[in-house]
Amino acid sequence: MENVRIKSLGQYLDIVADYDFDLWYRGVGSRDFKTLPQASWMGINPDIQNTMAYRFLRDYGKYVEREESNPWKTYSLMQHHGLPTRLLDWSRSPLVALYFALTQTIVDIKNTRRGIWVLNPLRMNKLTTGAELVYCPSQMGKRRIYNLAEYKESIYPAAGGEIWKSKYGEALKEDGVSFRSLDAFLPYCLFQLDPLNTKKIDTWNVPIAIEAVSTDGRMNSQHSAFTIHSDSSKSIDELFPKESGVISFIEIDNDSVIALMYQLHKSGIHSESIYCDLDSLSQRIRFEMLGV
| Residue 76 to residue 81: CA distance in whole angstroms | 9
Are 271 and 283 spatial neighbours (Cβ–Cβ below 8 Å)? Answer: yes
- pLDDT at residue 217, rounded to an integer: 58
Are 169 and 47 spatial neighbours (Cβ–Cβ below 8 Å)? Answer: no
Number of domains in the chain: 1
Are 233 and 205 spatial neighbours (Cβ–Cβ below 8 Å)? Answer: yes
> Where in the sequence is the domain holding 82, given as residue range(s)?
4-142+207-290
Are 24 and 223 spatial neighbours (Cβ–Cβ below 8 Å)? Answer: no
pTM for this model (two decimals)? 0.88
The answer as to whether 195 is a domain residue is no
Return per-residue pLDDT of the chain as tens, 292 residues.
456 899 999 999 999 998 887 999 999 999 888 899 999 999 999 999 999 999 999 999 898 888 878 899 899 888 888 899 999 999 999 999 999 999 988 766 556 789 999 999 999 999 999 999 999 998 998 899 999 888 877 777 778 788 888 766 667 888 888 899 999 999 999 998 888 888 887 778 899 999 976 655 566 667 789 999 988 888 999 999 888 999 999 999 999 999 998 999 888 888 777 776 777 778 778 877 887 6
Q: Which amino acid does the sequence have at 251?
A: E
Please give the backbone phi and psi of residue 82, each rounded to the nearest 5 degrees, phi first.
100, 0
The answer as to whether 199 is a domain residue is no
The answer as to whether 216 is a domain residue is yes
The answer as to whether 126 is a domain residue is yes
The answer as to whether 91 is a domain residue is yes
The answer as to whether 226 is a domain residue is yes
Q: H or E segment at 224?
A: strand 224-228
The answer as to whether 215 is a domain residue is yes
Are 218 and 89 spatial neighbours (Cβ–Cβ below 8 Å)? Answer: no
The answer as to whether 151 is a domain residue is no
CB count within 10 Å of CB 44 equals 18
Handedness of CA 264, 265, 271, 276 (dihedral sign): negative
| Residue 272 to residue 288: CA distance in whole angstroms | 12
| Residue 115 to residue 130: CA distance in whole angstroms | 30
